[in-house]
Structure 1
Amino acid sequence: MMTQADDAGLPPRRRTPRAEVRERVLRAAATVFAERGFAVATIDDVAQAAGFTKGAVYSNFASKDELFFALMDQQVAERVAIFKGLVSELDEARDVADLIAQHLLDSVPDNRDWQLLFLEFWQRAMRDPDTHARFLVRRRELHQAVADELQRALNSGSIRSAASARSLAFIVLGVANGLAIEEMLDPGTAPRELARHLLAALIADEPARSSLEPPC
Protein backbone atom coordinates (compact mmCIF):
# COMPACT_ATOMS: atom_id res chain seq x y z
CA MET A 1 0.00 0.00 0.00
CA MET A 2 1.36 3.40 -1.00
CA THR A 3 1.82 6.07 1.63
CA GLN A 4 0.74 9.67 1.21
CA ALA A 5 4.36 10.54 0.57
CA ASP A 6 4.47 7.92 -2.22
CA ASP A 7 1.31 9.34 -3.82
CA ALA A 8 2.86 12.77 -3.91
CA GLY A 9 6.08 11.41 -5.35
CA LEU A 10 7.97 12.47 -2.23
CA PRO A 11 10.44 10.32 -0.34
CA PRO A 12 9.23 8.97 3.03
CA ARG A 13 10.09 11.16 5.99
CA ARG A 14 13.23 10.10 7.85
CA ARG A 15 12.54 8.66 11.26
CA THR A 16 14.78 10.26 13.85
CA PRO A 17 17.06 7.62 15.40
CA ARG A 18 16.37 6.94 19.06
CA ALA A 19 19.89 7.95 20.10
CA GLU A 20 19.46 11.32 18.37
CA VAL A 21 16.08 11.86 20.03
CA ARG A 22 17.61 11.15 23.43
CA GLU A 23 20.53 13.51 22.85
CA ARG A 24 18.30 16.36 21.64
CA VAL A 25 15.95 15.90 24.59
CA LEU A 26 18.88 16.01 27.02
CA ARG A 27 20.27 19.19 25.47
CA ALA A 28 16.82 20.81 25.58
CA ALA A 29 16.27 19.70 29.19
CA ALA A 30 19.57 21.21 30.32
CA THR A 31 18.62 24.58 28.82
CA VAL A 32 14.97 24.59 29.89
CA PHE A 33 15.70 23.49 33.46
CA ALA A 34 18.40 26.15 33.84
CA GLU A 35 16.28 28.95 32.35
CA ARG A 36 12.97 28.19 34.09
CA GLY A 37 14.08 26.19 37.10
CA PHE A 38 13.65 22.46 37.54
CA ALA A 39 10.58 22.76 39.75
CA VAL A 40 8.69 25.00 37.30
CA ALA A 41 9.74 23.47 33.98
CA THR A 42 7.52 20.75 32.50
CA ILE A 43 8.02 17.80 30.21
CA ASP A 44 5.93 19.73 27.66
CA ASP A 45 8.48 22.57 27.83
CA VAL A 46 11.34 20.16 27.21
CA ALA A 47 9.53 18.45 24.34
CA GLN A 48 8.77 21.74 22.63
CA ALA A 49 12.37 22.93 23.00
CA ALA A 50 13.65 19.63 21.57
CA GLY A 51 11.19 19.70 18.67
CA PHE A 52 9.39 16.50 19.64
CA THR A 53 6.12 15.44 21.19
CA LYS A 54 5.78 14.78 24.90
CA GLY A 55 5.45 11.10 24.04
CA ALA A 56 8.90 11.12 22.48
CA VAL A 57 10.34 12.43 25.73
CA TYR A 58 8.50 9.84 27.83
CA SER A 59 9.64 7.06 25.51
CA ASN A 60 13.19 7.83 26.64
CA PHE A 61 12.74 9.19 30.17
CA ALA A 62 10.05 8.19 32.62
CA SER A 63 10.06 11.49 34.53
CA LYS A 64 11.78 14.83 35.05
CA ASP A 65 13.91 13.19 37.72
CA GLU A 66 15.12 10.61 35.20
CA LEU A 67 16.02 13.44 32.86
CA PHE A 68 18.04 15.14 35.57
CA PHE A 69 19.95 12.02 36.54
CA ALA A 70 20.69 11.28 32.89
CA LEU A 71 22.11 14.80 32.64
CA MET A 72 24.12 14.20 35.80
CA ASP A 73 25.54 10.94 34.41
CA GLN A 74 26.51 12.83 31.26
CA GLN A 75 28.18 15.58 33.29
CA VAL A 76 30.13 13.08 35.39
CA ALA A 77 31.42 11.35 32.26
CA GLU A 78 32.34 14.65 30.59
CA ARG A 79 34.08 16.07 33.64
CA VAL A 80 36.07 12.91 34.22
CA ALA A 81 37.20 12.99 30.58
CA ILE A 82 38.18 16.66 30.91
CA PHE A 83 40.04 15.99 34.14
CA LYS A 84 41.90 13.09 32.55
CA GLY A 85 43.03 15.47 29.83
CA LEU A 86 44.08 18.02 32.44
CA VAL A 87 46.10 15.45 34.39
CA SER A 88 47.88 14.42 31.19
CA GLU A 89 49.05 18.04 30.81
CA LEU A 90 50.59 18.17 34.27
CA ASP A 91 53.80 16.42 33.18
CA GLU A 92 54.64 19.36 30.91
CA ALA A 93 53.34 22.15 33.13
CA ARG A 94 55.79 24.52 34.80
CA ASP A 95 53.17 25.68 37.28
CA VAL A 96 50.77 22.84 38.05
CA ALA A 97 48.68 24.87 40.53
CA ASP A 98 48.26 27.68 38.00
CA LEU A 99 47.15 25.24 35.31
CA ILE A 100 44.50 23.68 37.54
CA ALA A 101 43.29 27.05 38.85
CA GLN A 102 42.95 28.42 35.32
CA HIS A 103 41.06 25.32 34.22
CA LEU A 104 38.61 25.67 37.12
CA LEU A 105 37.87 29.30 36.23
CA ASP A 106 37.70 28.73 32.48
CA SER A 107 35.13 25.96 32.96
CA VAL A 108 32.61 28.21 34.74
CA PRO A 109 31.07 30.02 31.72
CA ASP A 110 30.71 26.81 29.73
CA ASN A 111 28.90 25.04 32.57
CA ARG A 112 26.60 27.80 33.79
CA ASP A 113 23.37 25.95 32.92
CA TRP A 114 24.55 22.79 34.63
CA GLN A 115 25.74 24.63 37.73
CA LEU A 116 22.35 26.30 38.16
CA LEU A 117 20.56 22.97 37.81
CA PHE A 118 23.04 21.24 40.10
CA LEU A 119 22.48 23.79 42.88
CA GLU A 120 18.70 23.57 42.59
CA PHE A 121 18.71 19.78 42.67
CA TRP A 122 21.21 19.78 45.54
CA GLN A 123 18.62 21.63 47.63
CA ARG A 124 16.01 19.07 46.71
CA ALA A 125 18.37 16.22 47.56
CA MET A 126 18.91 17.70 51.02
CA ARG A 127 15.17 17.59 51.67
CA ASP A 128 14.14 14.32 49.99
CA PRO A 129 15.76 11.03 51.14
CA ASP A 130 15.19 9.14 47.87
CA THR A 131 16.64 11.95 45.76
CA HIS A 132 19.51 12.30 48.23
CA ALA A 133 20.44 8.63 47.88
CA ARG A 134 20.58 8.76 44.08
CA PHE A 135 22.34 12.13 44.06
CA LEU A 136 24.98 10.89 46.50
CA VAL A 137 25.83 7.88 44.35
CA ARG A 138 26.69 10.15 41.40
CA ARG A 139 28.74 12.54 43.53
CA ARG A 140 30.73 9.69 45.01
CA GLU A 141 31.39 8.34 41.54
CA LEU A 142 32.77 11.74 40.48
CA HIS A 143 34.90 12.06 43.61
CA GLN A 144 36.35 8.58 43.09
CA ALA A 145 37.08 9.18 39.41
CA VAL A 146 38.88 12.46 40.16
CA ALA A 147 40.79 10.82 43.02
CA ASP A 148 41.88 8.01 40.68
CA GLU A 149 43.29 10.53 38.20
CA LEU A 150 45.06 12.47 40.95
CA GLN A 151 46.53 9.22 42.26
CA ARG A 152 47.98 8.56 38.82
CA ALA A 153 49.53 12.03 38.88
CA LEU A 154 50.96 11.38 42.34
CA ASN A 155 52.34 8.01 41.23
CA SER A 156 53.98 9.52 38.14
CA GLY A 157 55.48 12.42 40.06
CA SER A 158 53.52 15.07 38.13
CA ILE A 159 52.36 16.38 41.49
CA ARG A 160 53.59 15.85 45.02
CA SER A 161 51.41 16.44 48.01
CA ALA A 162 51.17 15.89 51.72
CA ALA A 163 47.50 15.11 51.13
CA SER A 164 46.13 11.89 49.71
CA ALA A 165 44.48 11.72 46.30
CA ARG A 166 41.13 11.39 48.04
CA SER A 167 41.74 14.58 50.03
CA LEU A 168 42.91 16.47 46.95
CA ALA A 169 39.82 15.39 45.00
CA PHE A 170 37.59 16.62 47.82
CA ILE A 171 39.34 20.00 47.91
CA VAL A 172 39.56 20.49 44.13
CA LEU A 173 35.86 19.77 43.67
CA GLY A 174 34.96 21.99 46.62
CA VAL A 175 37.04 24.86 45.23
CA ALA A 176 35.48 24.33 41.80
CA ASN A 177 31.95 24.63 43.19
CA GLY A 178 32.81 27.64 45.32
CA LEU A 179 34.49 29.47 42.45
CA ALA A 180 31.55 28.71 40.16
CA ILE A 181 29.03 30.18 42.60
CA GLU A 182 30.96 33.41 43.10
CA GLU A 183 32.01 33.81 39.45
CA MET A 184 28.49 33.28 38.11
CA LEU A 185 27.10 35.88 40.51
CA ASP A 186 29.77 38.47 39.75
CA PRO A 187 31.70 37.51 36.57
CA GLY A 188 35.38 38.34 36.53
CA THR A 189 35.80 38.62 40.29
CA ALA A 190 36.85 35.06 41.21
CA PRO A 191 40.48 35.40 42.36
CA ARG A 192 42.64 33.15 40.20
CA GLU A 193 45.75 33.95 42.23
CA LEU A 194 44.05 32.94 45.46
CA ALA A 195 42.96 29.65 43.92
CA ARG A 196 46.47 29.11 42.60
CA HIS A 197 48.07 29.78 46.00
CA LEU A 198 45.61 27.44 47.71
CA LEU A 199 46.36 24.65 45.25
CA ALA A 200 50.10 25.34 45.39
CA ALA A 201 50.00 24.92 49.17
CA LEU A 202 48.44 21.49 48.72
CA ILE A 203 50.38 20.28 45.71
CA ALA A 204 53.85 20.56 47.23
CA ASP A 205 56.58 18.25 48.44
CA GLU A 206 55.97 18.64 52.15
CA PRO A 207 55.91 16.18 55.07
CA ALA A 208 52.53 14.51 55.51
CA ARG A 209 50.19 16.31 57.89
CA SER A 210 47.23 14.48 59.35
CA SER A 211 45.29 17.76 59.47
CA LEU A 212 45.02 17.62 55.66
CA GLU A 213 42.93 14.47 55.82
CA PRO A 214 39.13 14.78 56.05
CA PRO A 215 37.35 12.38 58.45
CA CYS A 216 36.35 9.04 56.96
Structure 2
Amino acid sequence: MSDDAPDSPTPDWPTPRTPRAEVRERLLTAGAEVFAEQGVHEARIDEVAARAGFSKGAVYSNFSSKEDLVAQVMQRATNLVLGSLRELVRADIAAVDIGDVVRAAFGRNDQSAQFALLSEFRGYAIRHPEFLPEFVRHRRALHDGVLELVQLWFGAHPDIDPGMPLEDLSTALIGANVGIVFDAAALPGVDPGEVVAGLVEAVVRRR
Protein backbone atom coordinates (compact mmCIF):
# COMPACT_ATOMS: atom_id res chain seq x y z
CA MET A 1 0.00 0.00 0.00
CA SER A 2 1.29 3.47 -0.86
CA ASP A 3 2.36 5.73 2.01
CA ASP A 4 0.10 8.35 0.45
CA ALA A 5 -3.00 6.20 0.83
CA PRO A 6 -5.59 7.69 3.19
CA ASP A 7 -5.95 6.11 6.60
CA SER A 8 -8.82 3.71 7.02
CA PRO A 9 -11.68 5.23 8.97
CA THR A 10 -11.78 4.29 12.64
CA PRO A 11 -14.82 2.10 13.38
CA ASP A 12 -17.43 3.90 15.45
CA TRP A 13 -17.74 1.26 18.18
CA PRO A 14 -20.64 1.75 20.62
CA THR A 15 -19.68 2.67 24.17
CA PRO A 16 -20.17 -0.39 26.40
CA ARG A 17 -23.11 -0.07 28.75
CA THR A 18 -22.28 0.02 32.43
CA PRO A 19 -23.67 -3.15 34.08
CA ARG A 20 -26.89 -2.45 35.95
CA ALA A 21 -25.48 -3.80 39.21
CA GLU A 22 -22.56 -1.37 38.98
CA VAL A 23 -24.86 1.55 38.18
CA ARG A 24 -26.98 0.73 41.21
CA GLU A 25 -23.98 0.39 43.53
CA ARG A 26 -22.50 3.68 42.35
CA LEU A 27 -25.82 5.42 42.90
CA LEU A 28 -26.13 3.96 46.41
CA THR A 29 -22.59 5.06 47.27
CA ALA A 30 -23.24 8.54 45.92
CA GLY A 31 -26.57 8.70 47.75
CA ALA A 32 -24.90 7.86 51.05
CA GLU A 33 -22.33 10.62 50.51
CA VAL A 34 -24.81 13.28 49.43
CA PHE A 35 -27.37 12.46 52.14
CA ALA A 36 -24.67 12.62 54.83
CA GLU A 37 -23.26 15.91 53.51
CA GLN A 38 -26.44 17.78 52.60
CA GLY A 39 -29.18 16.06 54.55
CA VAL A 40 -31.86 13.83 53.14
CA HIS A 41 -34.42 16.62 52.78
CA GLU A 42 -32.06 19.05 51.03
CA ALA A 43 -30.33 16.50 48.82
CA ARG A 44 -31.36 16.58 45.18
CA ILE A 45 -31.63 13.56 42.94
CA ASP A 46 -29.64 15.21 40.15
CA GLU A 47 -26.77 15.80 42.61
CA VAL A 48 -26.76 12.11 43.54
CA ALA A 49 -26.77 11.17 39.85
CA ALA A 50 -23.94 13.59 39.02
CA ARG A 51 -21.85 12.32 41.94
CA ALA A 52 -22.23 8.79 40.57
CA GLY A 53 -21.43 9.90 37.02
CA PHE A 54 -24.89 9.37 35.54
CA SER A 55 -27.95 11.35 34.50
CA LYS A 56 -30.98 11.77 36.73
CA GLY A 57 -32.76 9.22 34.56
CA ALA A 58 -30.41 6.53 35.83
CA VAL A 59 -31.70 7.11 39.36
CA TYR A 60 -35.32 6.65 38.35
CA SER A 61 -34.40 3.61 36.27
CA ASN A 62 -33.16 1.92 39.43
CA PHE A 63 -35.30 3.43 42.19
CA SER A 64 -38.98 4.27 42.12
CA SER A 65 -38.62 7.52 44.09
CA LYS A 66 -36.32 9.53 46.32
CA GLU A 67 -37.81 7.71 49.32
CA ASP A 68 -36.99 4.38 47.69
CA LEU A 69 -33.38 5.53 47.18
CA VAL A 70 -33.19 6.63 50.82
CA ALA A 71 -34.51 3.25 51.97
CA GLN A 72 -32.04 1.36 49.80
CA VAL A 73 -29.12 3.50 50.97
CA MET A 74 -30.16 2.73 54.53
CA GLN A 75 -30.38 -0.99 53.69
CA ARG A 76 -26.89 -0.87 52.19
CA ALA A 77 -25.50 0.83 55.30
CA THR A 78 -27.05 -1.87 57.51
CA ASN A 79 -25.71 -4.62 55.26
CA LEU A 80 -22.19 -3.18 55.35
CA VAL A 81 -22.10 -3.12 59.16
CA LEU A 82 -23.57 -6.59 59.57
CA GLY A 83 -21.45 -7.96 56.75
CA SER A 84 -18.25 -6.83 58.46
CA LEU A 85 -19.36 -8.35 61.76
CA ARG A 86 -20.44 -11.64 60.19
CA GLU A 87 -17.12 -12.02 58.42
CA LEU A 88 -15.21 -11.71 61.69
CA VAL A 89 -17.41 -13.04 64.49
CA ARG A 90 -17.37 -16.84 64.46
CA ALA A 91 -18.38 -19.42 67.03
CA ASP A 92 -14.85 -20.84 67.26
CA ILE A 93 -13.18 -17.60 68.36
CA ALA A 94 -11.50 -18.09 71.73
CA ALA A 95 -12.66 -16.01 74.69
CA VAL A 96 -9.24 -14.35 74.97
CA ASP A 97 -9.53 -13.16 71.36
CA ILE A 98 -13.13 -11.92 71.16
CA GLY A 99 -12.25 -8.36 72.21
CA ASP A 100 -9.67 -8.04 69.44
CA VAL A 101 -12.21 -9.34 66.93
CA VAL A 102 -14.60 -6.56 67.96
CA ARG A 103 -11.81 -3.99 67.56
CA ALA A 104 -11.05 -5.32 64.09
CA ALA A 105 -14.72 -5.10 63.11
CA PHE A 106 -14.92 -1.45 64.16
CA GLY A 107 -11.69 -0.67 62.35
CA ARG A 108 -13.24 -1.66 59.03
CA ASN A 109 -15.75 1.18 58.93
CA ASP A 110 -15.68 4.96 59.21
CA GLN A 111 -17.83 5.55 62.26
CA SER A 112 -18.13 9.31 61.71
CA ALA A 113 -19.45 8.88 58.16
CA GLN A 114 -21.85 6.14 59.23
CA PHE A 115 -23.18 8.21 62.11
CA ALA A 116 -23.68 11.29 59.93
CA LEU A 117 -25.79 9.16 57.63
CA LEU A 118 -27.70 7.55 60.51
CA SER A 119 -28.42 10.98 62.01
CA GLU A 120 -29.85 12.18 58.72
CA PHE A 121 -32.05 9.12 58.42
CA ARG A 122 -33.30 9.57 61.99
CA GLY A 123 -34.04 13.25 61.47
CA TYR A 124 -35.82 12.55 58.20
CA ALA A 125 -37.94 9.87 59.87
CA ILE A 126 -38.93 12.27 62.65
CA ARG A 127 -39.99 14.95 60.17
CA HIS A 128 -41.70 12.43 57.86
CA PRO A 129 -43.69 10.01 60.04
CA GLU A 130 -44.63 7.94 57.00
CA PHE A 131 -40.94 7.02 56.68
CA LEU A 132 -40.51 6.11 60.36
CA PRO A 133 -41.59 2.44 59.95
CA GLU A 134 -38.88 2.00 57.29
CA PHE A 135 -36.26 3.49 59.60
CA VAL A 136 -37.42 1.28 62.46
CA ARG A 137 -37.31 -1.80 60.22
CA HIS A 138 -33.66 -1.22 59.35
CA ARG A 139 -32.64 -0.47 62.92
CA ARG A 140 -34.47 -3.59 64.07
CA ALA A 141 -32.59 -5.59 61.43
CA LEU A 142 -29.29 -4.29 62.82
CA HIS A 143 -30.24 -5.16 66.39
CA ASP A 144 -31.45 -8.61 65.35
CA GLY A 145 -28.26 -9.22 63.40
CA VAL A 146 -26.04 -8.26 66.33
CA LEU A 147 -28.13 -10.38 68.70
CA GLU A 148 -27.78 -13.34 66.32
CA LEU A 149 -23.98 -13.04 66.45
CA VAL A 150 -23.96 -12.63 70.24
CA GLN A 151 -26.14 -15.74 70.59
CA LEU A 152 -23.92 -17.62 68.14
CA TRP A 153 -20.76 -16.93 70.12
CA PHE A 154 -22.13 -17.41 73.63
CA GLY A 155 -24.01 -20.50 72.49
CA ALA A 156 -20.69 -22.03 71.48
CA HIS A 157 -19.14 -21.08 74.85
CA PRO A 158 -21.49 -22.36 77.57
CA ASP A 159 -18.70 -21.92 80.12
CA ILE A 160 -18.93 -18.12 79.72
CA ASP A 161 -21.46 -16.21 81.81
CA PRO A 162 -22.41 -12.85 80.27
CA GLY A 163 -24.02 -11.72 83.51
CA MET A 164 -27.17 -10.47 81.77
CA PRO A 165 -29.69 -11.62 79.13
CA LEU A 166 -28.07 -11.69 75.70
CA GLU A 167 -30.79 -9.39 74.34
CA ASP A 168 -29.79 -6.76 76.91
CA LEU A 169 -26.11 -7.22 76.14
CA SER A 170 -26.71 -6.70 72.40
CA THR A 171 -28.76 -3.56 73.09
CA ALA A 172 -26.08 -2.22 75.44
CA LEU A 173 -23.30 -2.76 72.90
CA ILE A 174 -25.18 -0.97 70.13
CA GLY A 175 -26.31 1.81 72.47
CA ALA A 176 -22.76 2.36 73.74
CA ASN A 177 -21.45 2.62 70.21
CA VAL A 178 -24.11 5.06 69.02
CA GLY A 179 -23.84 7.18 72.16
CA ILE A 180 -20.06 7.51 71.99
CA VAL A 181 -20.10 8.46 68.32
CA PHE A 182 -22.90 10.96 69.02
CA ASP A 183 -20.79 12.59 71.73
CA ALA A 184 -17.51 12.33 69.79
CA ALA A 185 -16.93 16.09 69.86
CA ALA A 186 -17.19 16.06 73.67
CA LEU A 187 -15.07 12.91 74.01
CA PRO A 188 -11.85 13.66 72.12
CA GLY A 189 -9.60 10.65 71.80
CA VAL A 190 -12.27 8.15 72.85
CA ASP A 191 -12.46 5.25 70.40
CA PRO A 192 -15.95 3.68 70.34
CA GLY A 193 -14.51 0.40 69.06
CA GLU A 194 -12.13 0.25 72.01
CA VAL A 195 -14.92 0.97 74.50
CA VAL A 196 -17.28 -1.61 73.00
CA ALA A 197 -14.47 -4.17 72.90
CA GLY A 198 -13.77 -3.42 76.55
CA LEU A 199 -17.43 -4.03 77.40
CA VAL A 200 -17.30 -7.38 75.62
CA GLU A 201 -14.14 -8.34 77.47
CA ALA A 202 -15.72 -7.28 80.76
CA VAL A 203 -18.64 -9.72 80.40
CA VAL A 204 -16.54 -12.64 79.16
CA ARG A 205 -16.09 -14.40 82.47
CA ARG A 206 -15.99 -18.09 83.30
CA ARG A 207 -19.00 -19.46 85.13
Pairwise TM-score range, normalised by the shorter structure: 0.7 to 0.9
Q: Aligned equivalents of 2:91 and 2:177: distance in 1?
A: 19
Distance in 2, matches of 1:126 and 1:71, equals 18
Q: Which amino acid aligns with 1:149?
A: L
Deviation at 1:186, TM superposition (A): 5.9
> Distance in 2 between the 1:17 and 1:191 partners?
38
Local SS of the residue matching 1:88? coil
SS in 2 for 1:30: helix
Structure-1-length-normalised TM-score: 0.78
Whose Rg is larger? Answer: 2
- Per the alignment, residue 89 of structure 2 pairs with 87
**Separation in 2, partners of 1:157, 1:76:** 27
Q: Secondary structure at the match of 1:59?
A: helix
Deviation at 1:82, TM superposition (A): 1.6
C-alpha change, 1:168 and 1:16, in structure 2 (3 Å) is: same
Greater CA drift, 121-130 or 57-66 = 121-130
> Across the two proteins, how many residue pairs are aligned to each other?
198
Q: 1:123 and 2:146 equivalent? A: no
Matches within 5 A, 1:24-103: 24-88=26-90, 91-92=93-94, 94-97=96-99, 99-100=101-102, 102-103=103-104
- The Cα of 1:105 is off from its aligned counterpart by 5.2
Change (3 A) 1:38 1:160: same
1:126-184 Cα shifts (integer Å, max 9, x gaps): 34322111111111111111111111111100853122222121111111212222336
Q: CA deviation at 1:185?
A: 6.7
CA distance in 2: counterparts of 1:61 and 1:176, whole angstroms:
31
**Runs of at least 5 residues in structure 1 that lack an aligned partner in the other structure:** 1-6, 207-216
Name the CA distance, whole Å, in 2 between partners of 1:15 and 1:191: 42
CA separation of 1:89 and 1:191: change in aligned 2, threshold 3 A: same
Instruction: Tell me: CA distance 1:79–1:70, structure 2 relative to 1, closer, same or farther (3 Å).
Output: same
**Residues 32 and 161 (structure 1), Cα distance of their counterparts in 2 relative to 1, 3 Å cut:** same
Indicate the larger mover: 130-139 or 72-81: 72-81
Give 1:56 shift: 0.8
Post-superposition Cα deviations, 1:31-65, rounded to whole Å, max 9, x if no partner, equal: 11222222221001011111111111111112222
Q: Find the counterpart in structure 2 of residue 211 from structure 1.
A: none
| More deviation, 80-89/34-43 | 80-89
1:20 alignment partner, SS class:
helix
- RMSD of Structure 2 on Structure 1 (CA): 2.7
CA distance in 2, matches of 1:71, 1:192: 23
Shift of 1:187: 5.3
Task: Quote how far apart the aligned CAs of 1:76 are.
Answer: 1.9
Q: Distance in 2 between matches of 1:47 and 1:185?
A: 35
Moved more, 158-167 or 128-137: 158-167
Aligned residue type for 2:61: S
